[in-house]
Amino acid sequence: MNTKLDNPWPDNHSITLCICTMNRPEELEHCLETVFQSVEKPDEVIVSDDSLNGQPTQIVVAKYSGVLYQQGPRRGLGPNRNACIQKSKSSHIIFVDDDVRVPPEFFAIARKLIASANAKTIITGYEMKHCEGTQKIIPQNTDFWGLQRVPVRNEYRAVVINATIFPCSLFKKALFDENLRYGSEEIDMAMHAVSLGYYIAYDDSLYVDHYPSPTNREQYKQFVHASRLYATTKAYWQYERSVFKTLAYVLLAPLQLAGSAIRRGNLRDTWGAFKATALAGRYLFTSPTICK
């Protein structure tokens, strides 16, 4: 994709758009349609495909000149995003899911925001989530349990990843945690970035539309609680360096998760809570950053 010929911006304002996909060729095509209908286009588009059968995705990608297709590592979103990072040649990266659609002015706005930001600024916006109505999703910091439901008053320690511009300098110091197959990977990256001295700025002019696809949801569901338990423990230990909060969380969070399921009288969710705790424990014991 040779968009640089009609792009007046310098190389340090260049953008790679990374789209991670799995078994969603129709959603991917809608996403790419909006990208190519944009007023300004990204300098590079990478589609990283975790599908077992990549042919339907490749057929879609072939319709759009210059889009780079690669087979993903098939180990979830964290590893797939890292695979995109390794291929990127731009100064900034934007990640969107395959069921996202970008407004026509999205990349033009992104470049203007990049031009006004310093090298250690991550810029995040919001998404309009279209699912049983429409909801505006803005970044919220985590509470003690690792749930993103604390309104930001001073420092942002969270992003909405589908509407976030990352400087590539960050990824020389931090990559997405490859234990995080689905869930909490964006909050982990945001907190890691802040611990490294990066600043997260919110801008209400940057947004995308998100039409959550039901495809893969049941497969992803099994990882959500385990990812949160692991990522929050990691945040208290590695980023906040608080032994007290780490121990308190390790003791209380599994009880809170199981207790919530028991109170609902849902045996399946109760068993799922125990499975999530065991999986989170496995992540912790295999994490090179925690067990080093």
pLDDT at 20: 96
Predicted confidence band at 5 (pLDDT cuts at 50, 70, 90)? very low
Q: Which residue has the tokens 């310098």?
A: 10
Q: Cβ contacts of residue 205 below 8 Å, gap of 6+?
A: 109, 113, 125
State pLDDT tens for residues 235-278: 999 999 999 999 999 999 999 999 998 988 888 888 989 999 99
**CB 136 within 8 Å of CB 210:** no
Averaged pLDDT for residues 108-136: 96
State pLDDT tens for residues 124-158: 999 999 998 999 999 999 999 999 999 999 899 99
Q: Are strands 44-49 and 68-71 parallel, antiparallel or unpaired?
A: parallel
Structure tokens belonging to residue 45: 């588009």
User: What's the CA angle centered on 122, arms 120 and 123, to 5 degrees?
Assistant: 135
Alpha-carbon distance 94 to 103, whole Å? 14
**CB 167 within 8 Å of CB 122:** yes
Q: Are strands 121-130 and 134-137 parallel, antiparallel or unpaired?
A: antiparallel
pLDDT for residue 167 is more than 50:
yes
Alpha-carbon distance 160 to 139, whole Å? 6
C-alpha dist (Å) from residue 71 to 47, 58, 87, 255: 8, 10, 12, 39
pLDDT at 159: 98
State phi, psi for 181 to the nearest 5 degrees. -70, -35
Predicted confidence band at 218 (pLDDT cuts at 50, 70, 90)? confident
pTM for the full model? 0.92
pLDDT at 10: 58
State phi, psi for 162 to the nearest 5 degrees. -70, -10
State pLDDT tens for residues 23-78: 999 999 999 999 999 999 999 999 999 999 999 999 999 999 999 999 999 999 99
Specify the DSSP class assigned to residue 101: E
Burial call 103-123: b when 16+ CB within 10 Å, e when fewer:
beebbebbbbbbeebeeebbb
